[in-house]
Chains A and B, each alone.
Chain A
Amino acid sequence: MIFAKGTILPDEQLPQVLGQLEEDLIAVRGQAPLFPRVVIDACQRLLERLDRGELDALIAQYATPQLLSALEQYRHLLRPESLEYKLSVETGGLLSVEDRPFGRTAAVPLGTLLHITAGNLDGLPAFSVVEGLLTGNVNLLKLPSGDSGLSVALLKLLTDTEPRLAPYVYIFSIPSSDRSSLQALADLADGIVTWGGDEAIRAMRAMAPAGCKLMEWGHRLSFAYLSGAGRGEDLEALAGHIIQTGGLLCSSCQVIYLDTADQDQARRFCQSFLPVLEGAAARFHQTPGQAAMATLHGYEHRLALAVEGSAAQVFQGRGCSVTLCPDQSLELSPLHGNVLVKCLPRHKLAAALFPQRGRLQTVGLICPPQQREELCRLLAQAGVTRITSAAHMSEPFLGECHDGEYPLRRYLRLVDVEASL
């Protein structure tokens, strides 16, 4: 399946579309620029149709429970005021022409963005393209393998709603193994936006022409940091987060770090946290499959510890587990409601997080209010990019950066123009 200039085409036409693409991209560069207003209005009209129930059939076709909750969580980000706010925060006012001592500076689209997207959230490929559209870029989207078709349906709706967007969206469902087609797309891009793990990022780095800009949204690790005993509601929120995200998100808590060096205190924490986690498991595991997944991964982890001769201690709960580890390194948890606990006094934060400094994302910080500033500073210096309450580790915030960067800023190029003499 190919989507080009507002039309869905069969795969057989790939050679023709690729052969014609350079000419099409050059033609768009010669046209009047695409203003953010056009994209914002189109998104608004789409949201209105959604509210009127006109898209119910489409939703019914792709709706998984995961998608419906994601839609609920993210839909406010597509509202005009949200998109306008995102634009103003992320571009820092660069979209208007700025006067400079030598003349002026203008921001223009980078040109053509190739989006290599991951399948971890349905509809994410479409979101990546909307970011590219907001900055006026032409978007070449390579769908993740096993894509549900939702992104294509959404982008088709968007270009149907606003035909002026049609020349700016191309979608290809080519497999990653089709290196020659992927290379052809990379050769035409001014920037490559890669979502995915190390393998995808390395592959795209190798394919990017030397002058091509790389925007990489790689996989991340997140954790919770607990100083003091923590309030009951914060610990409950953390437990809910651990069970609900299953450790699978970039922002999911993998390790609960305790601001202490005392293993006995940590053991008491594990004993008291386990029932809280079990309560969350009982509440949020709705199918036997989810409970089975939690049990299976926790059990597998126990066997692995036995084989390694590890000194870690497992506190097994119903549909979850807590493992007290003797070390301090940030690592992936056994997932699915099985979480790690480690002692990490605050003065050792920088050293313990150093090996993962390029992969850090969210910290769910639980601490007494008077210590929050100091801990935020230490955590920020250690390399994290988001500090939230335990309840909001995986909540999107309006105007937040993405892994420490403003994506829209990166999708633009600045042009300095000297005033005429």
Chain B
Amino acid sequence: MLERQRLFWSAHPYDLEGTGEKFLRAVRANCAFHLKRCPEYRSIAQALHFSPDQLQTMEDLAKIPVLPTLFYKRHALFSMPRSRMAMYVTSSGTSGKFSQIGFDWGCVFAEIPMVLHLGWTHGLISPKPAHCVILGYKPHKSNRTGVTRTMYGLTYFSPPISRTYALQYVDGGYVPDLDGVARALDKLGRSVFPTRIVGFPSYLWFGLKRMEELGLRVRLPRGSKILLAGGWKQHYSQQVEKSVLYDLAGRVLGIPEEEIHESFGAVEHPIFYNACKHHHFHIPIYARVIIRDVNTLEPLPMGRIGLVNLITPLMNATPTTSVMTDDLGYLTPGEECGCGISSPYLTLLGRVGLGDIQTCAAGASQILGKGEGF
């Protein structure tokens, strides 16, 4: 399993060209691992006539069995017993079905250098202690969502002095407390330490609007930052023009645009994607992205719009080597960004289909992962 660690401990997080061989080797080992230990994955590979030795060049990555995120919502796939996993998390489906994904210790160990390298590259790491305001869930033993884990992790980029949560766990459920957050921010404006706000973009938007309504304006100390994180969905449901959100953050909190940082990941693909200074998500060395034709699923050339297929050898507990999200997106050559990062960047255009699909066919709402919307 050292192939994976060699890749994740590499020094330059955007050197795609220089790490191609390491990536291939790690993916081959990862596929072989899952084929040996996960009977469902083995059945799929057999049906698709795949074996790891077919992976000889980067083009061959497209041959790895691709599992749609939809599939994990209906089938819990594991390549090791629960007792050997470091963690067991779910996607943040509040109603309906959610994915169940296991994290092994080797995966956690590989994530550490990834997060540190990227955190360092994107200027997120600071030795100066900071107060943290989390526009997300307060961790609780009943909450296994991946995003809760991510947000908690993001508070450690600087030594955390305090943590205030927008979603409090009360009597078996989460209740939003935006007014509590607004009051906390008002107080933190007078602290000598900077504040770091971590959260879903939509919560930031609602929180800032609420503060504006209440007539609250804060000048957070210099060095304060906003780290936006979330699953895929949170990035465009409640889609607000980024520039409007940034203006509002400047006006209400006194945080300038360059201190607002975006990242994303998914439970089924927990790679730490960060926006560059031009707000583009470049592909780091830990992952490769293939855009696939919406009719044939064949790989498409750079620039064409299709389904987004994400590949990483990160996880051993669940076969997530190659996953397909239900998003449409496209890739752009890194040089066109101009930020200095040479790896291509991924633009997400949103979920496939027409926004919220509703159904009255018996049993369909569960399949669509929507609960019953009653």
Binding site for B on A (CB under 8 A): 64-66, 116, 118-121, 144-146, 176-177, 195-200, 203, 218-222, 246-250, 252, 254, 288-293, 295-297, 299-300, 302-304, 306-307, 309, 318-319, 331-332, 335-336, 356, 359
Please judge, given known A-B contacts A299-B297, A303-B71, A335-B364, whether A64 and B358 are in contact too, CB under 8 Å.
no
Could you say which of A200, A296, A309 has the most chain B C-beta atoms within 10 Å of its C-beta? A296
16 cross-chain CB contacts under 8 A: A116-B374, A121-B358, A144-B374, A146-B356, A197-B362, A199-B371, A220-B361, A248-B360, A291-B295, A292-B326, A295-B297, A296-B324, A297-B70, A299-B68, A332-B363, A335-B364
A290 closest partner in B (C-beta) = B353
A283 to chain B, nearest CB (A): 14
Q: Which residues of chain A have C-beta atoms less than 8 A from B368's C-beta?
A: 335
Given A66-B354, A250-B361, 9 more A-B residue pairs with CB atoms under 8 Å apart are A196-B372, A222-B361, A252-B361, A254-B361, A290-B353, A292-B352, A293-B326, A335-B367, A336-B353
- Identify which of A66, A200, A248 contacts B374 (C-beta below 8 A): A200
A180 to chain B, nearest CB (A): 13
The reply to whether A318 and B361 contact each other, CB–CB distance below 8 Å, is no
Instruction: State A289–B356 Cα separation when bound (angstroms).
Output: 13
The reply to whether A197 and B374 contact each other, CB–CB distance below 8 Å, is yes
The reply to whether B354 and A332 contact each other, CB–CB distance below 8 Å, is no
B84 close to chain A: CB less than 8 A: no
- Identify which of B68, B326, B360 contacts A120 (C-beta below 8 A): B360
Could you say which of B40, B352, B360, B373 has the most chain A C-beta atoms within 10 Å of its C-beta? B360
- Identify which of A119, A288, A304, A356 contacts B358 (C-beta below 8 A): A119
Instruction: State A121–B173 Cα separation when bound (angstroms).
Output: 30
- Identify which of B46, B67, B354, B364 contacts A247 (C-beta below 8 A): B364
Please judge, given known A-B contacts A219-B362, A296-B70, A304-B74, whether A289 and B374 are in contact too, CB under 8 Å.
no
Please judge, given known A-B contacts A197-B365, A304-B71, whether A144 and B173 are in contact too, CB under 8 Å.
no
A282 to chain B, nearest CB (A): 10
B61-77 CB contacts (< 8 Å) to partner A = 65, 67-68, 70-71, 74-75
Q: Which residues of chain A have C-beta atoms less than 8 A from B373's C-beta?
A: 118-119, 144-146, 196
Instruction: State A113–B360 Cα separation when bound (angstroms).
Output: 22
The reply to whether B371 and A288 contact each other, CB–CB distance below 8 Å, is no
The reply to whether A295 and B295 contact each other, CB–CB distance below 8 Å, is yes
How many A-B pairs have beta carbons closer than 8 Å: the answer is 156
Instruction: State A197–B358 Cα separation when bound (angstroms).
Output: 11
The reply to whether A303 and B361 contact each other, CB–CB distance below 8 Å, is no
A322 to chain B, nearest CB (A): 16
Q: Which residues of chain B have C-beta atoms less than 8 A from A120's C-beta?
A: 358-360
B214 close to chain A: CB less than 8 A: no
A177 closest partner in B (C-beta) = B173
A334 closest partner in B (C-beta) = B367
Q: Which residues of chain B have C-beta atoms less than 8 A from A64's C-beta?
A: 354
- Identify which of B48, B173, B353, B365 contacts A289 (C-beta below 8 A): B353
Instruction: State A119–B370 Cα separation when bound (angstroms).
Output: 12
Please judge, given known A-B contacts A177-B173, A306-B44, whether A332 and B296 are in contact too, CB under 8 Å.
no
Main SS of chain A's interface residues?
mixed
Which 9 residue pairs are nearest across A and B when measured between Cβ atoms?
A200-B374, A306-B47, A292-B294, A219-B362, A197-B372, A120-B358, A248-B359, A292-B352, A289-B352
Q: Which residues of chain B have C-beta atoms less than 8 A from A292's C-beta?
A: 294, 306-307, 326, 328, 352-353
B43 close to chain A: CB less than 8 A: yes
B357 close to chain A: CB less than 8 A: yes
Q: Which residues of chain B have C-beta atoms less than 8 A from A196's C-beta?
A: 372-374
The reply to whether A248 and B358 contact each other, CB–CB distance below 8 Å, is yes
Instruction: State A48–B373 Cα separation when bound (angstroms).
Output: 33
Fill in one digit per residue for B12-35: 1 if any A CB lies within 8 Å of its CB, else 0: 000000000000000000000000
Q: Which residues of chain B have C-beta atoms less than 8 A from A198's C-beta?
A: 362, 372
The reply to whether A248 and B295 contact each other, CB–CB distance below 8 Å, is no
The reply to whether B360 and A219 contact each other, CB–CB distance below 8 Å, is yes
Could you say which of A304, A309, A359 has the most chain B C-beta atoms within 10 Å of its C-beta? A304
The reply to whether A332 and B361 contact each other, CB–CB distance below 8 Å, is yes
The reply to whether B372 and A199 contact each other, CB–CB distance below 8 Å, is yes
Instruction: State A299–B74 Cα separation when bound (angstroms).
Output: 14
The reply to whether A300 and B71 contact each other, CB–CB distance below 8 Å, is yes
The reply to whether A249 and B352 contact each other, CB–CB distance below 8 Å, is no
B47 closest partner in A (C-beta) = A306
Could you say which of A119, A146, A195, A331 has the most chain B C-beta atoms within 10 Å of its C-beta? A119
The reply to whether A293 and B296 contact each other, CB–CB distance below 8 Å, is no
Q: Which residues of chain B have C-beta atoms less than 8 A from A121's C-beta?
A: 358, 360
The reply to whether A219 and B364 contact each other, CB–CB distance below 8 Å, is yes
The reply to whether A250 and B360 contact each other, CB–CB distance below 8 Å, is yes
- Identify which of B44, B359, B361 contacts A307 (C-beta below 8 A): B44
B293 closest partner in A (C-beta) = A295
B305 close to chain A: CB less than 8 A: yes
Fill in one digit per residue for B194-206: 1 if any A CB lies within 8 Å of its CB, else 0: 0000000000000
Q: Which residues of chain A have C-beta atoms less than 8 A from B363's C-beta?
A: 197, 219, 221, 331-332
A291 to chain B, nearest CB (A): 4
A175 closest partner in B (C-beta) = B374
A199 closest partner in B (C-beta) = B372
B359 to chain A, nearest CB (A): 4
